[in-house]
Structure 1
């Protein structure tokens, strides 16, 4: 893993497809914008103004406590979904050129393991804590492992029908495991944080500490359904890459799939609750369905209607999405924003200063990414 500098037109980030979809760059940046702190704008507006619409939006940009779904719960799975979307472009193009599957598989596995290691460093620092105090589960590990297995399925399962079968099979298997396998002291079918099979497996097999003591939202067992989130992206990318479909037909298929997934997910919710912490099968469908619908919208606006000027802000973020996620741990952007803008904000009222501080923080982060973009320097994993 290292920054790469090229004199050519920047390619799509993490992983790099052969043919660029600007909508994919922009949507990845749009998604990453909220991860890097964009949601704080609504939170500070809600606190400083008390406006009803700001309070409503701030609430939507929080995670549900356990069961349920809010838009903010879609941010993480959308990123994993987009990694899947790029797979038919990156791996599919190389397979079409005759590249060796085993060689591609090694690259996929290497990338997945690098993300796991980066996640450990992100949680614990470069000079590790005592083993028992380290947290091994992470957002990057979830993306690395689930994305890796989804890509390996794409590489070695050549039939689309078989891939769909694996997708359905994993979702049903996970449901059956959580509902039928008893947990000591809680029995079978307990979906609480303490009593679920997911938490029990984490406590048994996850080294180090768990994020929520008895459960880790990026633990071992819940990686299984997360593979299906990546596979949904693979299915979407396969549709977008087809040359025998018109753009209109592609969008129709994505919308139909998205609406169907959301509907099925909420139907399934009646017996298997939508739950991000457990990454339940119903959650995979609801979050994946919304991801399909958002992708279809971005694809229609950007790649079909060719309305592109507004995308630049998000493309700059999307080109270095992993880097800005990691950089927050080692660069004090908040201090930089205070150093650059505190004097200016001092002339305004306290509410404006509070909101302005968040905007300044985001501006400094974006400026950092813009500098790298202009230098054509991108972190590749």
Structure 2
């Protein structure tokens, strides 16, 4: 089976979106669609991380479709998972007081790459050992169990769990109890421990989409199946959201279904454009996809270095660049902030292109 350009395009778009929303000129002035929902709800930014996990699932289905469980295969999966977790922890080390050791007392343990590593590990093992029907059963079991546990089991302090704040719910209670000071915020972490379980489901749904792409059907049939899969997930998700709010931090079941549905819809579109109609222009985005994790990792490390490195008493590299080249020329701060983010995206697009042309690919 030839390499699917649609998957590379979708991965490239997702990485570009990640870099865009993570690098505004100033966090105090950002257009609302480029921010996460404060609690319940869904913005375009909330789609990005589940999209990437969904794509991880697709990649697992394509990469391991002819693999059988073996010691060598498990070893590769474990090594890759450890690399992802290690890179994520390395990003978290960069704090305002870096490299002083006392920062380890409050070092954030969870993170985006850490979650990707865990999700990849679990999902790969399940894919190698279960049929598609069994994976669908696991998806159903995990979503229902997570809903019942987080929605109806009393907390140890006797409080009834609630989805209405970040205090009285199991996801944040477990994170605070186990991680303590090693969280993103004092009361919650968007990549916490318990919410990693439903994020695995996001990846498993991606595996099902990947299996659709490997079926011996016509290309149009596959595209139609992906579209039907998308509409089904989105519909189920919005119906469930009546009782189970859409929430990224807790990674609720409705959030899982809706975001996976939009990801499947995006895949059906890129599959139609790239692999059916073979429109060349869109394939330029695959440059980013070839070094997706590397580009994301570099963008996070460089951004943190720019935030913590001072060039004088009042400015860091980041603030100086923003004020000098953007904020001083535009009356609308949100526009200046967006243009800064777009310039960062442009830099990494150029870097991706150079790496691609020089045939340099970093395997993580």
TM-score normalised by structure 1 residue count? 0.81
Following superposition of structure 1 onto structure 2, how do residues 273-352 of structure 1 map, counting pairs within 5 Å? 273-312=245-284, 314-331=285-302
Give the number of aligned pairs.
343
In the alignment, the residues of structure 2 paired with residue 318 and residue 103 of structure 1 have an alpha-carbon distance, to the nearest angstrom, of: 26
1:79, CA displacement in angstroms? 0.4
Partner of 2:6: 23
Structure 1: which 5+ residue stretches go unaligned? Answer: 1-17, 48-54
1:365, CA displacement in angstroms? 2.1
CA offsets 1:174-224 (integer angstroms, 9 cap, x no match):
001101221134623312201110011111222642112111111111111
Matched, 1:272 2:252: no
CA offsets 1:93-123 (integer angstroms, 9 cap, x no match):
334xxxx533212211221122111111111
Matched, 1:146 2:115: no
In the alignment, the residues of structure 2 paired with residue 266 and residue 347 of structure 1 have an alpha-carbon distance, to the nearest angstrom, of: 43
Following superposition of structure 1 onto structure 2, how do residues 1-381 of structure 1 map, counting pairs within 5 Å? 19-37=2-20, 58-95=31-68, 100-125=69-94, 129-157=102-130, 159-185=131-157, 187-191=159-163, 192-206=165-179, 208-243=181-216, 245-312=217-284, 314-331=285-302, 354=336, 357-381=340-364
- Contact conserved, 2:54 with 2:260, CA < 8 A, in 1? yes
In the alignment, the residues of structure 1 paired with residue 191 and residue 22 of structure 2 have an alpha-carbon distance, to the nearest angstrom, of: 22
In the alignment, the residues of structure 2 paired with residue 349 and residue 169 of structure 1 have an alpha-carbon distance, to the nearest angstrom, of: 52
In the alignment, the residues of structure 2 paired with residue 205 and residue 39 of structure 1 have an alpha-carbon distance, to the nearest angstrom, of: 27
- Contact conserved, 1:101 with 1:155, CA < 8 A, in 2? no
- Contact conserved, 1:273 with 1:282, CA < 8 A, in 2? yes
CA RMSD across the alignment: 3.0
- Contact conserved, 2:53 with 2:202, CA < 8 A, in 1? yes
In the alignment, the residues of structure 2 paired with residue 240 and residue 110 of structure 1 have an alpha-carbon distance, to the nearest angstrom, of: 27
In the alignment, the residues of structure 2 paired with residue 79 and residue 234 of structure 1 have an alpha-carbon distance, to the nearest angstrom, of: 12
**Structure 1 129/110 Cα, relative in aligned 2: closer, same or farther at 3 Å?**
farther
Which deviates more from structure 2 when the two are superposed, residues 228-237 or residues 67-76?
Answer: 67-76
1:151, CA displacement in angstroms? 1.1
**Structure 1 329/226 Cα, relative in aligned 2: closer, same or farther at 3 Å?**
closer
